[in-house]
Amino acid sequence: MQSPITAVERARLLDHGQVRADGLTIDPLPVVRLFTPDAHATWLLAALDPVDGDTAYGLIDLGLGMPELGYVKLSDLASIVGPLKQPAVMRDVYFQATRTLSDYVRLAQANGSIVD
């Protein structure tokens, strides 16, 4: 099972996760955008738990009109496969965050989906 994020993204997510684990307030730019092309689910991930290295924190939009902050395990996302046994969760290689996580949350909740 291949990770849906790169080593560079993992390092940035872990840095943000360590700040959160240290109890400091942080409102970073999301590091990575993951999505399912067929199911309209999107994850804007901003931090990764430095203890388990698998639990990511960010804005989750499952395509139901109720995006919210939450946690997801990268291993769970990597284990989702489509009908041809290919990974169903993809990394947006062109994603460049243009606002902080809290700004994405505010806009997504106002619009019912992640806006960018």
Burial tier of 75 (Cβ tally within 10 Å: 0-12, 13-18, 19+): middle
Among 35, 99, 100, 109, smallest CA distance to 68 is for 109
**Considering the chain, what percentage of its residues have pLDDT values greater than 70?**
99
Residues in the chain: 116
- Here the tokens at position 74 are 């990268």
Q: What is the pLDDT of residues 79-116, one digit of tens each?
A: 988 777 777 899 999 999 999 999 999 999 999 999 87
Of residues 23, 28, 34, 16, the one with CA closest to residue 105:
28
Q: What is the pLDDT of residue 80?
A: 87
Domain ranges of the chain: 7-111
pLDDT at 1 exceeding the cut of 70: no
Q: Would you say the pTM of this structure is higher than 0.85? A: yes
Report pLDDT for 29. 97
In tens, the pLDDT along 6-65 reads 999 999 999 999 999 999 999 999 999 999 988 889 999 999 999 999 999 999 999 999
Q: Residue 108 corresponds to which tokens in the numbers above? A: 């997504």
